[in-house]
Structures are given as structure tokens and as C-alpha cells.
Amino acid sequence: MNSLTQVIAAVSTPPGKDGVAIIRMSGEGAFEIADRVFFPISGRKFSECMPRTQIYGNIIEDGERIDDVLATRFPAPHSYTGEDTVEIGCHGGILVTRTVLEALLRAGAVPATAGEFTRRAFIGGRLSLTEAEAISDLLEAKTRDQLRLSGGDARGRLTAKIAEIRASLVSLMSSIYARIDYPDEDLGDFSDGEVRASLYNIKVECEKLLSTYRTGRAISEGIDTVICGKPNAGKSTLYNLLIGEDAAIVTDIPGTTRDVLTSSLPLGRVMLKIADTAGIRDSEDMDAVERIGVEKSRKMIKECELLFAIFDISRPFDEEDRLILEATRSVNVPKIALLNKADLPAVIDESAFTGFDEVIRISAKCGEAEAVQKLSNSVNRLFTDEKIVIGQDAIISSARQHASLSRCLDFVRAAIESLDLGFMQDAASSDVERALGAISELDGRSVSEEIVSDIFSRFCVGK
Ligand code: GDP
């Protein structure tokens, strides 16, 4: 990262041939740097032109015109970063864009690193850390729900909710400390009961927000899902159906899928990171490659977060089906039994499939739309809370947010416990202070440099 005293510049649009490209420059001195290379047609100096208005002019370096552009200046603090910022819209060719950027760099700017503009916005107090994370997710969004989750409304709701919890903790802390520091002052009554009630409200708010994580994570990060089943049960047919293309080879020959195929796809509101594994069997005729595939499948079953166990109900339940049931039984994650080939006469009864969260009949080959719908309903039931309105409610979605908020809740619970055990308010105060530390970590007020760097490294240069 560059020093905050430097003016940073970068191309903010993706590389490639396009209608226009945007080059962004930010920092104290950005307008002076622009004045060295950008000359408005009006003849006025750019730094003296109207702010937040597009100014037409030329980029000229050493007397040579590089491009005619539209440039806008955003004086601090009314810009994305909160610093003086210049945005130049030039023609979107690869070479012309690079040449304009290089002219700005030679005039005094330095190249921005990944996420540096947003990082400056965070440092300048324009964004909380959770808002910065949401912007990173917004850039990566592939589904409408991901977009809603990271959009402006949702970002604002989460920031407001965290600020509310933080403000309650600050108010509680200051009341407790005022009483400890000025025991003789008449500061009004603030009984243990009131401290407990206030802590209890904070606890409920933290729990409510924490309960949104399951839904938030399912939508934004996705659920590691494994399709398992004996050879020929229809794993690859289902995998291809879900991802919408013939990626896995479908044949009647057992052991066709030897390696693990993976893909990401939305199913209803949930994002699935799905893997089609080699069919699990234990047979003399398996070669070394198939054996490795089967071992890999067993390992993936143990590590996944959602299991689709697929069975062919048109054939009698056999030893291979039993192996699958055994392999899935020891896994403590949501499990869905898919009784496949429902278009053929069934010879296995549903009662054979115990221990699953859901048991659904599908035909991956002949009833595609219905199969996808049934599966989507089950997965959404298991991983999302229907009462949560995406885009409107405050929702946490990253492991970092979950960890900080859980820590905050633990300290709030510990403070309540101290009071319940009859300790004085000052005994609870250290836990309240730690809870405040944890929530400050969540919104980025007090967070390690390592975490901040990790978050901003996910951004592209120019954002
Ligand atoms: P895998 O070994 O578990 O991956 O099974 P495949 O997906 O390769 O399917 C094995 C065979 O079963 C293929 O011939 C598929 O066309 C067939 N198959 C898969 N699903 C269905 C289904 O729902 N109904 C019928 N009738 N055949 C299916």
C-alpha cells in the first residue's frame, strides 16, 4: 500500500477494448497533477473548474495530444475515498487507457494497489469495514440475492444495526464507570437489575443478528455440497442437470466418474459449491484409478456441509446402497436422500432411508424441472430462514463478522452471568469492555492490520 500522502491512480474499468474507460486518481494534490496533463477546452485550469461536473478537454503530454476526455473533480470530502478525487473518462482502448494513466503517473501520481481507493474510504471514515466487505461481495455477485445482500440498502442496515449494538454497549460502559469513578456523585439510580436488563437486550440483538449468518453465508459464500451414491445411481445425470451442461460423462458403465468434478451454481436462494464424486463401491474389479476416486469421495463426504445421497429405486437395495448409507450415517451435516429414477417402477420402499433430513423422489433424467424444484425447496428450507428479507434486513455473511459478533455475545453472556452470581457491576464491566472491543472489531474501528489487508486484497486495482 502507498503512503496516504501520495496521490494514487489506476484504471477503474476492466482491461480490454470498450466504449470508455475510467481512470481514477485520489489524494491531496490530485487536482494539481491533473492540471499538468489535462487541459479543458474552455481554457480554464481544471482545478478551477466547477466540481462534480464533467469537463471536456485534452490529455496532453510533452506537447502531444493523447486523447480527448471528460474529466470530473470531486473535492474532499465529497468523493468515494473522502479525498480530492479526479475521474477521467477516456476512449476505451487498451493502449490509449494505459498511455493516459502513464501520463498521470509521470505527472506525480503513483499506481494504486488492489482495493486502495476503498481502503482510503475506510481509513477516512467514509465506510465501515462491513460496508467495504459488502462492496467486495458486490463486485463478485453472480446472483440477484447476492446483489441484494451486498447492495446499498443491506449495507446500510447492517452498519446501522452494528452501530446500535455498539452504542448500547458504550452507554452501559459509561454508566458503570461513572458510578465506579464517582461513587459519591448523585448519578441517578442504575441498579444491577437495569444493567442486567440492558445487557439482556444487547444479548438478544446479538443473537438475532448472529442467526442471520446461516442464510447470509448460504447466499454469499455457498455451501460445500457432495453428490454421492453407488455407481449408476444417476449422480452425473443430476450434476449435469444442476449445472445446466453435460460436464460429467453419463454412461451405464459403473465407475465412469473417477475424479471429482466441481462447480458453483445457485439453487433458489442458496449458492451450492457442488461436487460429483466417483461412485462408492468395494469391488475386486476396480482399478487403481477408480480406487483413488472412491477414497477421495469418502474424504469429501466427511468434509462437506451438505450431502445429496442418490439411490436408484428401480433396482433392489443392495450391498452398495448399504455402503452409501453407512458412509453418510457418520456425517453430521444436513443430508438429503434422492430416490432417483422415479419414472421407473420402484422396487425399494422409502422406509429404508432413515437418518436423512429430507427424502425426495426425483427423476433426474425424465423429470428435470420437478427434480430441480424439489431439491431447491429442500436446500432452501435447510439453509435459509424464509422470514429474512434479503436486501432489507441486517444480515451477516462472512466468517470474520460471525467470529467478532460471537465473541461479543460471549462477553455479554459472561457479564450477565457475573451479575447473576451476585458480583458487583465493576466485575461485569471488564466483560462489557471486551464485548465493546469485539463489536469495534466488527465495524473496523479496532481491527488488526492483518485483517484489514486481507479484506482489501480481495478487491481489484482501481476499486
Ligand atoms: P452415476 O454413475 O451415478 O454418475 O450415474 P449416471 O448419471 O452416469 O447414470 C447412469 C445411468 O442411469 C445412465 O444411463 C442414465 O441415463 C440413467 N439415469 C440417470 N437418471 C435416471 C432417471 O432418473 N431415470 C432413468 N430411467 N434413468 C436414469
Question: Under a CB-based contact definition with an 8 Å cutoff, are residues 340 and 233 in contact?
Answer: yes
Residue 97 CB less than 6 A away from ligand 1: no
pLDDT at 312: 95
Strands 261-267 and 335-340: unpaired
The one-letter code for the residue type at 214 is: R
Using the atom order of ligand 1, give the atom closest to the CA of residue 367: 23
Encoded amino acid at 34, one letter? A
For residue 172, what pLDDT band results from cuts at 50, 70 and 90? confident
Ligand 1 neighbourhood includes 364 CB (under 6 angstroms): yes
On whether residue 313 sits in a domain, the answer given is yes
Same-domain status, 336 and 407: no
**pLDDT number for residue 339:** 96
Place 383 in a pLDDT band, splitting at 50, 70 and 90. Answer: very high
Write down which residue in 383, 409, 432 finishes a domain. Answer: 383
Q: What is the pLDDT of residue 257?
A: 55
pLDDT value at residue 46: 97
Q: Please choose from 226, 227, 230, 232 the residue to mutate so as to test ligand 1's pocket, defined by most ligand atoms within 8 A of CB.
A: 232
Residue 66 in grid coordinates: 493523447
Position 69 confidence tier, pLDDT thresholds 50, 70, 90 = very high
Out of 295-304, 355-364, 379-388, 414-423, least confident range: 295-304
Q: What is the chain's mean pLDDT, rounded?
A: 87
Residue range of the domain that includes 332: 218-383
Residue-level pLDDT at 250? 58
Give me the mean pLDDT over the 14-37 stretch. 93
pLDDT tens for 269-327 read 999 999 887 666 665 666 666 667 677 777 888 889 999 999 999 999 998 888 889 88
CA distances from 206 to 121, 187, 200, 216, 435 (A): 27, 28, 10, 15, 11
Write down how long the chain is.
463
pLDDT at 90: 95
The neighbour count for residue 215, using CB atoms within 10 Å, is 25
| pLDDT above 90: residue 3 | no
Same domain, 261 and 198: no
Tell me the average pLDDT across 13-17: 82
Atom of ligand 1 nearest to the CA of 276: 4
Separation of alpha carbons 463 and 454, rounded Å: 15
Residue range 395-420: average pLDDT? 92
CATH number of the domain bearing residue 244: 3.40.50.300
Distance in angstroms (rounded) separating the CA atoms of residues 309 and 314: 16
461 in a structural domain: no
pLDDT-wise least confident of 155-159, 275-279, 282-286, 349-353: 282-286
Of the residues 99, 128, 157, the one at which a domain ends: 128
pLDDT for 56 equals 97
Q: Are residues 314 and 227 in the same domain?
A: yes
Q: Are residues 200 and 223 in the same domain?
A: no
Band of residue 110 on the pLDDT scale cut at 50, 70, 90: very high
Cell of 335: 443430508
Q: How far is 357 from 443, CA to CA, in rounded Å?
A: 36
Whether residue 189 is predicted with pLDDT greater than 80 in this model: the reply is no
Confidence of residue 70 (pLDDT cuts 50, 70, 90): very high
Burial of 458 (0-12, 13-18, 19+ CB in 10 A): middle
Residue 282 has a pLDDT of 64
Task: Tell me, yes or no, whether 375 and 415 share the same domain.
Answer: no
pLDDT confidence band for 96 (50 / 70 / 90)? very high
> 242 and 344 in one domain?
yes
- How many structural domains comprise the chain? 3
> From atom 24 of ligand 1, which residue's Cα is the shortest distance away?
341
Q: What mean pLDDT is predicted for residues 25-32?
A: 97
Distances (CA, A) of 100 to 34, 103, 118, 210: 11, 5, 22, 47
Domain final residue pick, 73, 99, 128? 128
- Range name among 95-109, 167-181, 250-264 with the lowest pLDDT average: 250-264
For residue 252, the CA-to-ligand 1 centroid distance in Å is: 7
Q: Which residue has the cell 442418490?
A: 310
CA 342 / ligand 1 centre spacing (Å) = 11
At residue 233, φ and ψ (nearest 5 deg) are -70, -25
Residues 415 and 376 reside in one and the same domain: no
- Greater confidence (371 vs 249) lies with 371
Is the pLDDT score of 256 beyond 60?
no
- Quote the cell numbers at residue 387: 422470514
Q: Is the CB of 345 under 6 A from ligand 1?
A: no
The pair phi, psi for residue 458, each rounded to 5°, is: -80, -10
Average pLDDT value for residue range 204-218? 95
Q: Which of 216, 199, 65 shows the shortest CA–CA distance to 154?
A: 216
Q: DSSP readout, 221-290?
A: T-EEEEEEESTTSSHHHHHHHHHTS--S---SSTT---S-EEEEEEETTEEEEEEEPPPP---TT--HHH
Instruction: Tell me which H or E stretch contains 214.
Output: helix 213-220
Distance CA 297, CA 252 (A): 20
Task: Pick from 207-216, 227-236, 238-247, 291-300 the range whose average pLDDT is largest.
Answer: 207-216
